[in-house]
Amino acid sequence: MIRINCPYCGERDHSEFSYGGDATINYPSLDSSEKEWTEAIFFRKNIKGFQFETWHHSNGCRMWLVVERSTVTHEIKSVKPCHPNLQKVVENNK
């Protein structure tokens, strides 16, 4: 079982979270072309090793998180809020 250290709730079982997806995508603006959106939605790297991915603490504080996780070992290097303002709050409270 993966344990994720939510910056707000502490370390919790992964069953409290929902997996989001690739956290490194810069979604194009809404008026961007079909081509740009196709790139953003359908093309994914298949990373062996650490990747940044989003997780939603859906059965906890409801925060969306960026989790740096190894796809090989499930080791988690870092967890932080997706929203930059929430990141600052977490930093300031350290």
What is the contact surface with Zn ion in residues (CB under 5 A)?
6, 8-9, 57, 60-61
CA distance 93 to 33: 41
Identify which of residues 32 and 59 has a Cβ nearer to Zn ion in the complex.
59
Residues in region 37-66 near other proteins by CB under 8 A: 37-38, 40-42, 54, 56, 58, 62-64
- Per-position DSSP letters for the chain, written without gaps between them: --EEEETTTEEEEGGGSEEEEETT--PPPTTS-HHHHHHHHH-----SSEEEEEEE-TTTT--EEEEEEETTT--EEEEEESSHHHHHHHHHT-
31 lines the binding site for other proteins (CB under 8 A): yes
60 binds, among other proteins, Zn ion, none (CB under 5 to 8 A by kind): Zn ion
- Which spans of this chain sit near other proteins (rule: CB under 8 A)? 1-3, 18, 20, 23, 27-34, 36-38, 40-42, 54, 56, 58, 62-64, 73-74, 81-86
